[in-house]
Amino acid sequence: MPILARIPIFKALILDIIFIYCMEITVDQMYQIENKGHDMGFLKKFMMENAGAASVRRLVEKIENIESKNILIFVGLGNNGGDGLVMARHLAGYGAKVTVMLLGTPEKIKTEESNWNWSILKKMPSVKLMIGDSLSFDFKPDIIVDGILGTGISGEIREPYASAINYINKTDCYKFAVDVPSGLDPQTGETANICTKCNMTVTFHKMKQGIPKRKDLTGELYAEKIGIPPEAEEGIL
Ligand SMILES: NC(=O)C1=CN([C@@H]2O[C@H](COP(=O)(O)OP(=O)(O)OC[C@H]3O[C@@H](n4cnc5c(N)ncnc54)[C@H](O)[C@@H]3O)[C@@H](O)[C@H]2O)[C@@H](O)CC1
Ligand SMILES: [K+]
C-alpha cells in the first residue's frame, strides 16, 4: 500500500475519489442500461415519465409559487425533448403557465415515447404548443426548460437548435437543463460551438462522466433515479 494511503485521512480521501469515480458512468453504458431495462419490460416511456417527474420535483422544490410562473419549455426532436414534454404535463398539473416550443415539426419527432407524450399534450388546452423556429413569444418567461439536446448530441449545433440556445442564453430568467445543458458533451465535458448556461441540471439514473466537469454550465447538479431496475446494470457496470 502506498505510504500516504496508510494515513487515515488520505485513505478516506482515496476511498472517496474511488467511490465518486465508480458512481459515474459513460454515455454508452447509459444507453446499454436503458436498452437492457427496456428489454426487461421497464419500457422507455416509463423511464421518460420518471425523468420528467423527477425534474419537475426538483424545480418545484427550488422555485416558490410555481403556479404563478410563465414557463417556456424548448424541446428537441429526440428523447431529451420527450422528457421536456413530460415536464410540461406535470407543470401544468401544478397550475403553472406552460408553453412548449417544439423545435421542428411533430412528424419529425423521432421516437414512439416522445410522440406518445406529444399526443397527450395536444389534448391539453392548459399547455400552449408552438412549433417551428420562431423565437418570438408574447410573454416574458420566468423559467426556461432546456430539453433540446441530451446524450444524443454529436458535432456542432445546427439550426434551429443553435438559435434556441442563443435565445436561452440571452434571456434573463431561471434556466433548467434536462439531463445536460444542450451543447455540452456529457461524455467529455467539452462544449460544441454553443451551449446553454443553466441554473440547475438534473441528469438521470447515474452521473455521466463529463457533466460534473462543467458546473459552470450545469449550475446545481443532481442525478435522479428513474426506476430502472439495478439488474439492468448487470454485465454493463
Ligand atoms: N438513456 C436513458 O436511460 C434515458 C434517456 N432519456 C432522455 O433521452 C435523451 C437521449 O435521447 P436521444 O438519444 O433521442 O438523444 P437527444 O434527445 O439528445 O437528441 C438526439 C437527436 O438530436 C439531433 N442532434 C444531435 N446532435 C445535434 C446537433 N449537434 N445539432 C442539431 N441536432 C442534433 C439528432 O437528430 C439526434 O437524433 C437523454 O439525454 C435523456 O434526456 C430519458 O427519457 C430517460 C431515460
Ligand atoms: K438538455
165 inside domain: yes
216 is in an annotated binding site: no
- C-beta of residue 177 within 8 angstroms of C-beta of residue 192: no
15 inside domain: no
User: What CA–CA distance (Å, rounded) separates 227 from 138?
Assistant: 38
User: What CA–CA distance (Å, rounded) separates 160 from 157?
Assistant: 9
- C-beta of residue 71 within 8 angstroms of C-beta of residue 145: yes
Q: What residue owns the CA closest to ligand 1's atom 24?
A: 153
Residue 223: phi and psi, rounded to 5, are -115, 120
Q: What residue owns the CA closest to ligand 1's atom 28?
A: 157
- What is the domain-level CATH number for residue 215? 3.40.50.10260
Q: How far is the CA of 84 from the centre of ligand 2 (A)?
A: 9
Q: What beta strand segments (E) does the chain contain?
A: 70-75, 97-102, 127-131, 143-147, 174-178, 200-204, 220-224
1 inside domain: no
8 inside domain: no
13 inside domain: no
User: Which residue range is the domain that position 215 belongs to?
Assistant: 26-233
CB 62 near ligand 1, within 6 Å: no
52 inside domain: yes
The per-residue pLDDT string of the chain (237 residues; one tens digit each, 9 = 90 and over) reads 566 667 777 777 776 665 555 689 999 999 999 999 999 999 999 999 999 999 999 999 999 999 999 999 999 999 999 999 999 999 999 999 999 999 999 999 999 999 999 999 999 999 999 998 889 999 999 999 999 999 999 999 999 999 999 999 999 999 999 999 999 999 999 999 999 999 999 999 999 999 999 999 999 999 999 999 999 999 999
User: What CA–CA distance (Å, rounded) separates 119 from 111?
Assistant: 12
User: What CA–CA distance (Å, rounded) separates 146 from 75?
Assistant: 7
Residue from 79, 85, 110, 178 to probe ligand 1 pocket by mutation (most atoms less than 8 Å from CB): 79
Q: What residue owns the CA closest to ligand 1's atom 20?
A: 152
Q: How many domains does the chain have?
A: 1
9 inside domain: no
Q: Does the predicted interface ipTM exceed a cut of 0.90?
A: yes
54 inside domain: yes
